[in-house]
Amino acid sequence: MNFIGKLIGAMGKAESSPSPQEAIQRLRESEELLCKKQLFLEEKITLELETARRHGTKNKRAALLALKRKKRFEKHLAQIDGTLSTIEFQRESLENASTNTEVLRSMGFAAKALEKVHKDMDINKVDDLMADIEEQQDLAQEISDAISRPVGFAQEIDEDELLAELEEMEQEELDKELLTVGEPELPSVPSSTIPAVQPAKQENEDEEDMRMLGLWAS
């Protein structure tokens, strides 16, 4: 029973699932190993091709053996290419799955934090708080209105009485203006006499006649 228990325990440990990071790391190591083997096979293919060309028709058997080895290396190289494609696809899938896992874990962490924040909030308490805020705002407005109302002498003044007095004053001014309106006054006659207009033009004509007469007499 002890041996069977140990065997089952060992099998359970061997079959335990690795973490995504461990699997990705192993796939990368396998990729590096296969890439190195690719380079090795490419060098071997080039070498066998040169061997076949060197022997040519001189040693057909050696040339054929070199070509056979080249074909075998090429087949092995093609298999490695396919394996690398599979490993690359698997590694990318694991990387994407690991990224999605981290994103989901972060989203779950944020959701728990949000739940914790909302846990301390009660919608009824929020409503009560908003009602208290609104009540305090109304009280503050009432206080502002009370402070802004005039007090003392200003409250004893009747504005209607003031308006009536102002209208009476305006009517008196209008009556005065109507009384002063009469017939238009004529302009006064000036006391000084208006000087007579000298016949300057007539004198000029007489002088011209006398000058012409003088010229005719001479």
pLDDT along the chain (218 residues), means of 10: 47 64 90 94 93 87 91 94 94 89 88 82 79 88 80 64 84 83 55 53 67 64
Nearest to 84 by CA among 131, 129, 138, 30: 30
Domain range for residue 100?
A: 20-124
For residue 47, the model assigns a pLDDT of 94
CA–CA distance, 178 with 180 (Å, rounded to integer): 6
Q: Total domain count for the chain?
A: 1
> Per the domain annotation, does 85 fall within a domain?
yes
For residue 4, the model assigns a pLDDT of 40
CATH number for 102: 1.10.287.1060
Q: Which two tokens stand for residue 118?
A: 């909302």
For residue 150, the model assigns a pLDDT of 64
For residue 152, the model assigns a pLDDT of 57
> Per the domain annotation, does 216 fall within a domain?
no
Contact between 44 and 73 (Cβ < 8 Å):
yes
For residue 1, the model assigns a pLDDT of 45
CA–CA distance, 174 with 172 (Å, rounded to integer): 5
Instruction: For the chain, give the longest Cα–Cα distance.
Output: 187
Contact between 37 and 108 (Cβ < 8 Å):
no
> Per the domain annotation, does 77 fall within a domain?
yes
Q: Which two tokens stand for residue 60?
A: 């057909």
Predicted TM-score of the model (pTM): 0.44
Q: Which two tokens stand for residue 99?
A: 């990224």
